[in-house]
Each structure stands twice: as structure tokens, then as C-alpha cells.
Amino acid sequence: MKRLFIVVSLLACCFSSVYAFAEASPDVWPVLKKSFFGDKVIEVSDVMRLEGPRRAESGAQVPITLSIDKPDTYKNVYLFVDANPIPLAAVYHFTALNGKAQLSTRIRMQTDSYIHAVGETADGKLFLAEIAIRAAGGCGGMVDGDDAEIRAAAGKIKLNVEAPVKFGAANPVTFLIKHPMFTGLQRDLASGGYKPAFFISKVSFNYNSKPVMQADFGVAISEDPYMRFFYLPDAPGKLEVTALDNEGKTFTHEVEVNN
């Protein structure tokens, strides 16, 4: 993940200037594909799809849903927002304890862009799904608020297990963590200077100490990161989440799962 962010940071200035006010362009993806995956073949997936609005109301909060018809198909899914200054939005790591490989989240978009999901199988094969969304202004702009208060509130987690729980079946859960997810491209309203990047970088979910899912986040994930996904409980137990930010702070939360 760190290596990928280094590669994409080198591309940031180029993409942000060229596509600041452009419609979604298919020309960016071949460059990103080469940078991240080299000469590996990426086939169009027949089991994975992305859904989202054709035009988002706000570039700062763009809802998307990733669905994989066969839950054990891909062990990793890379999510790209092609025209963002930092295109890699997240990497999702699924397990058999998801039960159903469907995930809803919210991303930032700087301008109109294609969104690409690249699924990676256990043997390293790559498969692709894409959509185009119109949006603007989600990565930069001005931010306000007391920095000490913002940091004091960061890391508060809500984990909502939707009832009734059906053991032995895939059940939905909603995750929300309070965090500004500063991109490093936003300016402070008071000083006019750039706010340093400050974001949740990783979240891990376990059920009864067994891994359910892990996600590596970049700054293209919206403020107050949200995910709705599935887990597969075989008996009553405990669903746990651990979140880590880019400054090394750790946040945890757990909920009891019963009938």
C-alpha cells in the first residue's frame, strides 16, 4: 500500500492540473494501470460491478456501492478515482467471513471521473469494473473549525449491527468513524495555509477474533468514513473494529451480537 501511494503521488500534479475542469476521460486509466500493475493483463469482470450516481450532489460525499456476485472471487479490490490528485481511494481485503461481498461507502471526487475497481484473485489474476460519475471540488477547498476540537473528536466509532441477526447467514453492519480526513490539499480558512494530511489509513474487523474484512484508506475517502458491509456470524459473539490513522493513533470499538 505504501509503495502504491508513493507511485501515485508522483502523478498527482499532472492529473490535478490537466483534469481540473474536464469531463470524465478514459485516457487517464491506461497511465494508472501501467503505474500500479505494470504489464499485467486486466480482464473485464463478469461478477463485479460498481454503482453510483451519474451526477453527485457534492464532490465531497459521493456514494458508491461495490458488489461481487461470488463472495470468494477476489481477495483484494483496489478502488481508483482516476482524475483525483491521489487516485487510489482504498484497498479492500475480503475474507470468507464476509458471506456476501457487497460494500457501500462514500468517496471524494475533485472533478468528473471514471471510478475503477480492480479485483485480485488468490493466484494474482486481475479483473476490472468501472463507472463514470460527474462531481467537483471534493479534494480541496477551505476548511474551518478549531483544530484541537477536531482532533479531540476524531476516532469516535459507531458500529450498528442490523437486527434481527441470522446466524449462519450474511448480515449487514454499518460502520461510521468521526474523522475530518484532511487530504493535504485543503486550506485553513483562518491562516490560508494548507492543512496537513490527517486521515484514517486502515480499519480491520474481526468476529470472535477471526478476520472479517480489512480496508486501507487514502484521502479520497470522505470525511467521517462510512461503510455498510456484510459479516457471517455462526453463533453469538463479538464484532470488533480497530482503526488506525496516519499519525499512528489507534481507535477501537466492539458490539455484542445476539439474536
Give the 3-state secondary structure of 99-160.
CCEEEEEEECCCCCEEEEEEEECCCCCEEEEEEEEECCCCCCCEECCCHHHHHHHCCCEEEE
Rounded Cα gap, residues 111 and 132, in angstroms:
11
Task: Tell me the whole-structure pTM to 2 decimals.
Answer: 0.89
Ordered by where they begin, the domains of the chain are 2-257 (2.60.40.10)
Fill in the amino acid letter for 51. Answer: E
Amino acid at position 143, single letter: V
Q: What 8-state DSSP symbol labels residue 22?
A: P
Tell me the pLDDT tens digit for each residue of 186-222: 888 878 888 899 999 999 999 999 999 999 999 999 9
Query: Which CA distances in Å does 120 have to 26, 77, 98?
Result: 22, 6, 16
Are 70 and 104 in contact by the 8 Å Cβ rule? The answer is: no
Packed helices 2-18 and 28-37: angle between N→C axes, nearest 10 degrees = 160
Task: Give the integer Cα–Cα distance in Å for 101 and 229.
Answer: 8
- Strand-pairing partners, residue 188, are 143
Please give the helix or strand (H or E) that residue 8 lies within, else none.
helix 2-18
Write out pLDDT tens, residues 73-102. 999 999 999 999 999 999 999 999 999 999
* pLDDT value at 32 more than 70: yes
Lowest mean pLDDT among 4-13, 14-23, 31-40, 46-55: 4-13
Cell of 24: 470524465
Query: Within the chain, what is the greatest distance between any pair of CA atoms?
Result: 54
Q: pLDDT above 70 covers what percent of the chain?
A: 92
- Say what the pLDDT of residue 116 is: 98
Select from 37, 122, 42, 40 the least CA-distant residue to 75.
Answer: 122
Alpha carbons 9 and 104: distance in angstroms, whole number: 26
